Amino acid sequence: MPELPEVETVRIGLQQLLPGRVVASVDHDWPKSFPNAEADVQQFLIGASVVEVRRRAKVLLIDLSSQYTLVVHLKMTGQMVFRSQAERFGAGHPNESLVGELPDRSTRVTLTFVDGSKLFFNDQRKFGWVRLLPTTEVMNLDFFKKVGPEPLSADFDWHQLMERLQRRKNTNIKAALLDQTVVAGIGNIYADESLWSAKIHPTTLVRGVKPAQFHKLYDALVAVLRMAIEKGGSTDRNYVSAEGKRGSYLTFASVFRREGQACPRCGTTIIKTRVAGRGTHTCPVCQKPLSE
């Protein structure tokens, strides 16, 4: 579901669509999806224009001219879908959007801009949220104080990845990769894909992983994340871009959601197990169950 590549794809789309638009109104009917008080909404959201759309880890940051920021976490089933005035009312089909008429029954928050365009926050399972914070306070959120480095940043290298993973030396490598305080943005899909690529079994204890394997894992992780962004992310069930389009990475995935199919490297049947409480996909031959 939305991991770094999906959130980055949404960010790229919103950055093309939103800057300069002025907020006219906001609608929301589920308090946990948008917890801000009405007074703050009136003072710092209504009338403000969008300046820039950023991302940190799996979180979207929509900076406003009011020096406030809309902080958005999509969690499992969140979507941020933009519709122009023309797309909402014009004749014919808006685009090849995967989602239909909006709002729909999973719409939790709707931002309406003065030009008649709208931004919909849809979230079937209600785990995600949108909240308005002063821009200077965003990085003081507990999550941001603890979250690890961006894996695609220029100064992140395999030594750093190894050292940070080794802070969790008694747990398995998959749990460590999923730990957002170790490295930011990795979720279930890209953990499985990068571990397969590096030929590391997900239950391998971190203390048993050798330096050369950490190096391979770093290369695999960066390659997988870059390709996933290029493909517009992975659409398993819910995920869509800001334009409402699917991502195509799963077409290229090696193991994720491919149980029963042949490993692209050796032809062995891919199996699905449970590791770190998550569905986990491995090749039982390429990824040896035990490291020594």
Partner DNA sequence: CACTTGACCTGTCCGC
Partner DNA sequence: TGCGGACAGGTCAAGT
In 3D space, the residue among 205, 218, 209, 213 whose CA is nearest the CA of residue 175 turns out to be 205
- Catalytic site includes residue 56: no
- Catalytic site includes residue 167: no
Q: Which is nearer to DNA, 17 or 189 (CB)?
A: 189
272 touches DNA (CB under 7 A): yes
142 touches DNA (CB under 7 A): yes
Which of the stretches 14-22, 85-93, 139-147, 246-254 binds DNA when contact is defined by CB under 7 A? 139-147
Contact set for DNA, span 227-256 (CB under 7 A): 236
Q: Which long-range contacts (CB under 8 A, 24 or more apart) does 158-166 make?
A: 158/214, 158/215, 158/217, 158/218, 158/219, 161/214, 161/217, 161/218, 161/221, 162/211, 162/214, 162/215, 162/218, 165/206, 165/209, 165/214, 166/206, 166/207
Q: Which of 264, 278, 284, 288 is catalytic?
A: 278
Q: Which is nearer to DNA, 277 or 289 (CB)?
A: 277
What binding mask, one character per residue, do residues 207-226 give for DNA by CB under 7 A, x or -?
A: --------------------
Q: Which of 3, 8, 87, 243 is catalytic?
A: 3
Q: Tell me how far, at minimum, the Cβ of 34 lies from DNA, in Å.
A: 13
Q: Which is nearer to DNA, 168 or 245 (CB)?
A: 168
Q: Which is nearer to DNA, 118 or 168 (CB)?
A: 168
Which of the stretches 16-24, 60-68, 130-138, 181-189 binds DNA when contact is defined by CB under 7 A? 181-189
Which residue ranges make up the site for DNA (CB under 7 A)?
Answer: 1-3, 32, 57-59, 73, 75-76, 105-106, 124-127, 142-143, 146, 167-172, 175, 178, 180, 187-189, 236, 272, 274, 276-279
